Amino acid sequence: MDHSLVLRPATAADASNLAALAIQVWLHTYATEGIRQDISAYVLSEFTPSKFAGLINNPQYQILIAEINHHLVAFAQIDFASEEHPTLGSVELQTLYVQEAFTGQGLGSKLLAYCEEIIASRAYWLTSNSNNHRAIAFYARQGFVQHGVTYFEFGGNQYENKVLAKI
């Protein structure tokens, strides 16, 4: 791992880079058979600089970024008031995306530890695409336990996601 790693809260100036990285990582996870219209429509409407700027300015959310040599390589998004799984608590780690070229280098663990400093020892949970075996194994190594499944839906399709919690 490069010693120039910087972990910090996102600012409005990061919004475009966050949108680009989110599209890249999301497509790697969900567009495993290629791109089709509903996939294009989803990423181009959901991962926009303006949506990230809104999240950065909303106190319900915290976006934390990892940079190497002033390049965004990973980010995490925390929702402090999620209502999706109330039995698991209100804190959801909505996103932990690491650019493919930087996986397997300990960056995800460092970013997750930074998230946990912000979360401040409260219980929290997340969901991970059930076919993303590498991510699920990563979370298991970090102490997460499965608490059921949920479904991510778009374009008339459902994608199974495991609900993982660290309590």
Residues 6+ apart with CB under 8 A from 61: 55, 77, 78, 79, 80, 94
Look at 97 and 167; give whichever has higher pLDDT.
97
Look at 167 and 165; give whichever has higher pLDDT.
165
pLDDT at residue 146, as a whole number: 95
Counting beta carbons within 10 angstroms of the beta carbon of residue 65, is it exposed (0 to 12), middle (13 to 18) or buried (19 or more)? buried
Query: If you average pLDDT over residues 37-49, what whole number do you get?
Result: 95
pLDDT at residue 15, as a whole number: 98
Arithmetic mean of pLDDT over the chain = 93
Instruction: Say yes or no to pLDDT of 67 above 90.
Output: yes
pLDDT at residue 167, as a whole number: 78
Instruction: Say yes or no to pLDDT of 29 above 90.
Output: no
Instruction: Say yes or no to pLDDT of 78 above 80.
Output: yes
For residue 165, give both structure tokens: 């919690």
Q: How would you classify the pairing of strands 157-166 and 124-129?
A: antiparallel
Bin 103: left if φ > 0, else alpha if -120 < ψ < 50, else beta: beta
DSSP string for 108-152: HHHHHHHHHHHHTT--EEEEEETT-HHHHHHHHHTT-EEEEEEEE
Tell me, yes or no, if the pTM score tops 0.85.
yes
CATH number at residue 157: 3.40.630.30
Range of the domain at 155: 5-166
pLDDT at residue 1, as a whole number: 47
The DSSP symbol for 82 reads -
Question: What is the total count of domains within the chain?
Answer: 1
Predicted confidence band at 3 (pLDDT cuts at 50, 70, 90)?
Answer: low
Which amino acid would we find at residue 81?
A
Residue whose C-alpha is closest to residue 25's, from 85, 82, 66, 83: 66
Counting beta carbons within 10 angstroms of the beta carbon of residue 105, is it exposed (0 to 12), middle (13 to 18) or buried (19 or more)? middle
Instruction: Say yes or no to pLDDT of 92 above 90.
Output: yes
